[in-house]
């Protein structure tokens, strides 16, 4: 097990930040690999953190404060989404976060920041105002829009550029009576899959709306839709999702849920341990035949003992607010590309099932990508957060990392020996569609770090298609 260092919080002092800066400097100087961790929710298996390496745990940097008129929130790099939501509800505001309580807030936001409220407020990265950052060479730096290149890079590819120790972003006061949403589970028989997918494809989401689709095991494989309507009335909720209701759910648990409990339904995903080789895909459309085939594959996989927690899910958010900004406004590149985010999660304990689970998940992903109506792979994978820091020796980097894009993520946080930028190409996995992705490479060889935009370069990278921080 690797060694762990915790950031101890001292009120009104910079001691935690100085400690983090010193740790980064020490590790870089002594060729020690280190990992910045918050919620410990990461599912990846490629950290390669060993007994002589360090895990810098940020959990104690979890303070949450609001300004006088509650229009801005500042929180530590160790704050979980539950910390933000609890504090926001107590202060009569809403903050655009992710949907899973146990995830690090910045883990979701620095990768783009999807969440149920993004139709009203935009993506998480659109609401960031500033961050405090420990850079690769151990310097403390406040970054905002005045640092144009670094600011662009952090908002969507933030994990590649340092340890964010705190952030300030917009918050939105909401009357107590409407600080919540109508939501609930609509359960359908599986013969409704095609009709439900058609309804989802044709559904236009207004700003207060979002909807999720699950294939889940409820004693037997079930088809569940979870609509969401922020504020409003029950009549507005049912009118907005009339086409979904028209498909004919056999169970409806919808009710008004207070803002501080909206994420409770995701708590089952916070269970740590077990094996979860998850695969994701970004879709511009949902194909009814493909989703029928996905359901059939899911039913077949559940026949393996110990797989009952496995799930397939799709998230559909209102993009009206997010699409008022161009793709070039931040390093998150898929505002106008991805309409639906899909994820398959084989979930089990027996390592002997690994080949079966990998085959199941890759088959599902291939079904999605073969019908996604996007020119190139455009996958956003907020559930697969990881962040890896390496010492600056490039030979060590190359010996430890087989994926070129992983190498890019590592070198971009490590001081480079020469004044140059490099371009790496990437692909999600052999046999899959080629990827376009905005990535950034940091050059710390000069005092004014240089950033070169690698504009959606085609190529090859590993299965874990994302570098997301602080999970």
* Domains of the chain in sequence order: 3-173 (3.30.465.10), 181-369 (3.40.462.20)
Q: Can you give the pLDDT at residue 107?
A: 85
Bigger pLDDT: 72 vs 56? 72
Task: State both tokens at 166.
Answer: 């705190």
Is pLDDT of 83 > 90?
Answer: yes
- Tell me: pLDDT of 463 over 50: no
Q: Looking at residues 379-383, what average pLDDT do you find?
A: 60
| Nearest of 386, 421, 419 to residue 403 by alpha carbon | 386
Which stretches of 310-370 are DSSP H helices? Answer: 354-369
Overall average pLDDT of the 175-195 stretch: 97
pLDDT grade for 46, boundaries at 50, 70 and 90: low
Q: Average pLDDT of 194-209?
A: 98
In this prediction, residues 450-463 reach a mean pLDDT of 27
How many Å apart are CA 74 and CA 7, to the nearest integer? 17
Query: Quick check: 212 pLDDT over 50?
Result: yes
Nearest-angstrom CA–CA distance, 280 and 378: 10
Q: What is the mean pLDDT of residues 129-140?
A: 89
Average pLDDT, the chain: 79
> If you average pLDDT over residues 390-419, what whole number do you get?
27
β-pairing verdict for 128-134 and 34-37? unpaired
- Mean pLDDT on 72-96: 97
Bigger pLDDT: 457 vs 256: 256
Distance from the first to the final alpha carbon of the chain: 19
For residue 158, what pLDDT band results from cuts at 50, 70 and 90? confident
pLDDT for the residue 22: 78
Residue 109 reports pLDDT greater than 90: yes
Average pLDDT over residues 107-129: 95
pLDDT exceeds cutoff 80 at 392: no
Checking if the pLDDT of 358 tops 60, the result is yes
Most confident of 157-171, 226-240, 395-409: 226-240
Position 280 scores a pLDDT of 92
> What sign does the dihedral 45-46-49-54 (CA atoms) show?
negative
Which tens digits make up the pLDDT trace of 230-287?
A: 999 999 999 999 999 999 999 999 999 999 999 999 998 888 888 998 999 999 999 9
> Which range has the worst mean pLDDT, 45-59, 159-173, 454-468?
454-468
pLDDT of residue 43: 56
Averaged over 302-307, what is the pLDDT? Answer: 98
What is the per-residue pLDDT for 385? 34
Mean pLDDT score, 424-443: 26
Q: Indicate the Cα dihedral angle 307, 308, 314, 315, nearest 10°.
A: -120
pTM equals 0.80
* Length of the chain measured in residues: 471
pLDDT at 465: 26
Q: What are phi and psi of 369, to 5 degrees?
A: -70, -25
Percent of the chain topping pLDDT 90? 61
């Amino acid at each position: 097990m690797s060694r762990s260092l915790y950031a101890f919080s001292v009120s009104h002092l910079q001691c935690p930040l100085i400690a983090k800066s010193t740790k980064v400097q020490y590790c870089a100087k002594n060729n020690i690999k280190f990992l910045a961790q918050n919620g410990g929710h990461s599912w990846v298996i490629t950290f390669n953190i060993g007994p002589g390496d360090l895990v810098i745990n940020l959990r104690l940097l979890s303070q949450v404060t609001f300004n006088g008129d509650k229009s801005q929130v500042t929180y530590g790099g160790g704050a979980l989404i539950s910390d933000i939501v609890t504090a926001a509800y107590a202060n009569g505001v809403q903050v655009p976060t992710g949907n899973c309580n146990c995830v690090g807030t910045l883990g979701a936001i620095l990768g783009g920041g999807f969440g149920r409220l993004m139709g009203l407020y935009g993506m998480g990265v659109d609401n960031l105002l500033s961050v405090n950052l420990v850079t690769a060479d151990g310097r403390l730096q406040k970054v905002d829009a005045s640092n144009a290149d670094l600011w662009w890079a952090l908002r969507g590819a933030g994990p590649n550029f340092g340890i964010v120790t705190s952030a300030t972003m917009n918050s939105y006061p909401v009357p107590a009576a409407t600080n919540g949403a109508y939501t609930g589970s609509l359960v359908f028989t599986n013969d409704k899959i095609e009709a439900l997918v058609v309804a989802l494809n044709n559904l236009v989401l207004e700003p207060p709306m979002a909807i999720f689709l699950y294939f889940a095991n409820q004693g037997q494989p079930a088809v569940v839709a979870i609509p969401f309507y922020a504020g409003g009335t029950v009549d507005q909720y049912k009118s907005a999702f009339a086409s979904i209701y028209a498909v004919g759910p056999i169970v409806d648990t919808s009710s008004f849920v207070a803002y501080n409990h909206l994420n409770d339904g995701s708590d089952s995903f916070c269970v740590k341990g077990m094996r979860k080789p998850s695969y994701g895909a970004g879709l511009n459309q949902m194909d009814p035949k493909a989703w029928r085939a996905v359901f059939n594959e899911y039913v077949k996989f559940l026949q393996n003992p110990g797989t009952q927690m496995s799930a397939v899910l799709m998230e559909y958010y209102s993009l009206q607010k997010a699409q008022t900004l161009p793709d070039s406004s931040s390093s998150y590149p898929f505002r106008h590309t991805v309409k639906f985010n899909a994820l398959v999660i084989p979930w089990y304990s027996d390592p002997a099932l690994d080949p079966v689970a990998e085959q199941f998940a890759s088959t599902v992903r291939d079904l999605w990508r073969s019908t996604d109506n996007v020119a190139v792979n455009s996958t956003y994978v907020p559930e697969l957060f990881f962040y890896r820091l390496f010492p600056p020796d490039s030979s060590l980097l190359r010996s430890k990392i087989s994926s070129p894009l992983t190498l890019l993520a590592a070198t971009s946080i490590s001081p480079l020996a020469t004044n140059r930028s490099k371009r790496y190409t990437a692909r999600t996995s052999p046999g899959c569609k080629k990827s376009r992705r905005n990535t950034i490479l940091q050059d710390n060889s000069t005092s004014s770090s240089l950033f070169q935009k690698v504009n959606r370069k085609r190529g090859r990278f590993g299965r874990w298609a994302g570098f997301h921080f602080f999970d």
